[in-house]
Amino acid sequence: MNMTYHQMRLQSKFLKTIGMDLSNEHAARRLHKQITAGDIAVKIKTFQNKKTKQEYDLEVAYIRDILQFVTKKLEEHDKGGELNWHDEKIPQNKVWIKIGGDNGKNSFKVALSICNLSKPNAKQNTHLTAMAKVPDKMHNIQIMFNDLKPQIESLQSFTWNRKAMKVFIF
């Protein structure tokens, strides 16, 4: 969460008043490092308020390596016999991936789905790729996708098991 020690102490004191007890700050920071050291990266980006156009800095969480993440998921689905070409609607030599953004509950989220599954839109098949507590203003969407663009481009040019990737962005 990239909180200062002071902010964490305030949060901990408040949570204790409602009956929740957190581990000490050192343990919480160690847990944060373990989580973000793997697949997730947290970066500070400059966003813009929708109404006032005032700029502010805020954390954005990203999947660190989308290509590696998709490859891992494809291997899991392939091993489980779950890949599907929807009665040849998806060509046999293609893997379709859709990546798109949505605003809800005061945050903008970018999700990824592998379309070569029987239910690609199911909750368990939709993966959060990036998220920030910002409105879906064009400036903010551009900021979110700037870091994702090179990763999406490498995904588009990747071939997995002799199947080319086709990426749909919405």
78, 117 contact by CB (below 8 A): no
Encoded tokens for 57: 């800095």
Q: Residue 141 has what pLDDT?
A: 86
Q: Under 8 Å CB-to-CB from 170, ≥6 apart: which residues? A: 98, 99, 100, 101
Distance of alpha carbon 68 from alpha carbon 64, whole angstroms: 9
Q: How many alpha carbons fall within 13 Å on the CB side of residue 125?
A: 16
Q: Residue 2 has what pLDDT?
A: 62
Q: How far is CA 69 from CA 8, 76, 79, 96, 145, in A?
A: 31, 11, 15, 15, 17
Q: What is the mean pLDDT of each run of 10 residues along the chain (170 residues)?
A: 69 72 62 61 82 85 91 94 92 95 85 95 90 84 89 95 94
Q: Residue 83 has what pLDDT?
A: 95
Q: Residue 125 has what pLDDT?
A: 92
Q: Residue 24 has what pLDDT?
A: 62
Q: Residue 57 has what pLDDT?
A: 87
Q: Regarding beta strands 163-169 and 94-104, do their DSSP bridges make them parallel or antiparallel, or are they unpaired?
A: parallel
Q: Residue 76 has what pLDDT?
A: 93
Q: Under 8 Å CB-to-CB from 164, ≥6 apart: which residues? A: 93, 94, 95
Q: Residue 100 has what pLDDT?
A: 92
88, 70 contact by CB (below 8 A): no
Phi, psi dihedrals of residue 110, rounded to the nearest 5°: -115, 125
Phi, psi dihedrals of residue 13, rounded to the nearest 5°: -60, -45
Q: Is 34 left (phi over 0), alpha (psi -120 to 50) or beta?
A: alpha
DSSP 91: -
Q: Residue 23 has what pLDDT?
A: 60
